[in-house]
């Protein structure tokens, strides 16, 4: 099967596994409503502000993060929700953008719901999602003026991410030599779940021309890094890892925990979009083999070798969603079992619902063939 990038055809794995299309469509819309509707107090994570802004709330930490805002923008463009996209982007640019200091040109990774910055440092996973969501908005909605000139905003942001520091004015978000994304600009280690080679393939088409060769090389480097940082038996990745792929145990983040779940999602979407021979689908096969005999009610924090901690998984619904999304890239008979489990898992309620329900909706979009590349003039 050719890639979605080549054919503009997206695999609907839910339909392949026998679920009816009207039920799939209903599930997507119902989940969207649960996340974004003000009527759904137990499940929503979106909060409108005034007539033209709004934010995604990390309900577990009561703050607004670039991760969540960029995720919300990606969800909105995939669902053709232009007004919501613009609300999220306006709140982001108004409150999170930093104009001064060594991080000028980036976005503050955490703000209070009233818009005050909690920190003056960025988290690169937000910037890369912002950039691709903006490119997709340019292609789907059309560029407007000011901050709604989506293409220019994306190009400028990516240029800053690569070139900042050349004038001793801060740090870039990628190591220019090894082409790997950093956990934060000022450190020399990475987060395997930040690696989005399928995004970089598109940045290589749409960024400023001088940056395009870098992004193509970054896609190659990230596919290799994802494979290298995953445990050779379990497939589990640490939250933080050094550039050689070995776990970085600073503050206890060298184990398989919340950030790590996204690695399976990233491999799956990269496989669907580009089907590059270097896409490490074997990592997802190992992850599913590891979790196949685990009770979802008893998911834990794990060392990457599979040894379980007493500490329970903080985001079990997110992990179920990620393991299901992995099935887009695996061929074992276990693949459907993970999708069936996801189908029978409701969105999460309660304080910790934010991260789980973001992964939930992305998985639902991908498994139904609705997490798409939006090309110019689509």
Residue 94 φ/ψ region, left for φ over 0, alpha for ψ in the -120 to 50 degree band, beta for the rest: alpha
Q: How far is CA 170 from CA 106, 175, 197, 240, in A?
A: 11, 13, 25, 22
> What pairs with residue 97 in β-bridges?
107
Whole-number Å distance between alpha carbons of 68 and 329: 25
CA contacts within 13 A on the Cβ side of 310: 0
**Cα gap 8→21, rounded to integer Å:** 19
Collect all residues with Cβ–Cβ distance below 8 Å to 13 and sequence separation of at least 6. Answer: 327, 328, 339, 367, 368, 369
Distance CA 343, CA 365 (A): 13
- Work out the angle at residue 208's Cα, subtended by the Cα atoms of residues 203 and 214, and round it to the nearest 5 degrees: 55
Round the CA-based radius of gyration of the chain to a whole number and report it: 19
Instruction: Could you list the beta-strand ranges (E) of 37-116.
Output: 46-49, 53-56, 64-65, 110-111
Which residues belong to the active site?
A: 67, 259
Sorted by sequence, the CB contacts under 8 Å of residue 220 that are 6+ apart come out as: 179, 197, 278
């Amino acid at each position: 099967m050719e890639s979605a990038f080549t054919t503009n055809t997206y695999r609907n794995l839910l339909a392949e596994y026998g679920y009816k299309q009207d039920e799939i469509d209903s599930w997507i819309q119902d989940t969207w409503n649960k996340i974004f509707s003000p009527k759904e107090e137990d499940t929503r994570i979106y909060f409108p502000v005034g007539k033209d802004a709004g934010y995604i709330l990390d309900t577990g930490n009561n703050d607004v993060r670039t991760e969540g805002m960029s995720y919300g923008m990606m969800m909105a463009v995939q669902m053709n929700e232009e007004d919501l996209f613009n609300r999220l982007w306006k709140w982001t640019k108004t409150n999170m953008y930093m104009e001064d200091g060594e991080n000028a040109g980036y976005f503050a990774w955490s703000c209070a719901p009233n818009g005050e910055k909690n920190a003056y440092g960025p988290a690169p996973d937000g910037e890369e999602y912002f950039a691709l969501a903006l490119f997709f908005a340019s292609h789907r909605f059309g560029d407007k003026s000011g901050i709604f000139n989506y293409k220019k905003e994306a190009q400028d942001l990516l240029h800053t991410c690569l070139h900042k520091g050349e004038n001793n004015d801060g740090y870039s978000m990628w190591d220019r030599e090894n082409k790997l994304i950093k956990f934060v600009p000022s450190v020399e280690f990475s987060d395997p779940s930040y690696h989005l080679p399928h995004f970089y393939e598109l940045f290589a088409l749409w960024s400023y021309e001088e940056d395009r060769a870098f992004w193509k090389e970054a896609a190659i480097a990230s596919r290799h890094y994802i494979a290298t940082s995953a445990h050779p038996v379990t497939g589990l990745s640490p939250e933080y890892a050094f550039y050689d792929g070995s776990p970085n145990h600073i503050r206890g983040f060298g184990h398989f925990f919340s950030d790590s779940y996204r690695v399976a999602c990233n491999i799956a979407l990269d496989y669907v979009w580009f089907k590059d021979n270097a896409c490490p689908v074997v990592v997802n096969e190992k992850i599913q083999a590891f979790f196949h005999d685990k009770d979802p009610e008893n998911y834990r924090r794990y060392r990457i070798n599979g040894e379980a901690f007493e500490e329970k998984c903080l985001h079990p619904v997110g992990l179920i969603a990620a393991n299901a999304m992995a099935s887009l890239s695996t061929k074992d008979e276990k693949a459907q079992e993970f999708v069936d489990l996801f189908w029978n898992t409701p969105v999460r309620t309660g304080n910790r619902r934010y991260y789980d329900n973001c992964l939930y909706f992305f998985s639902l979009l991908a498994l139904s063939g609705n997490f798409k590349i939006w090309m110019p003039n689509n």
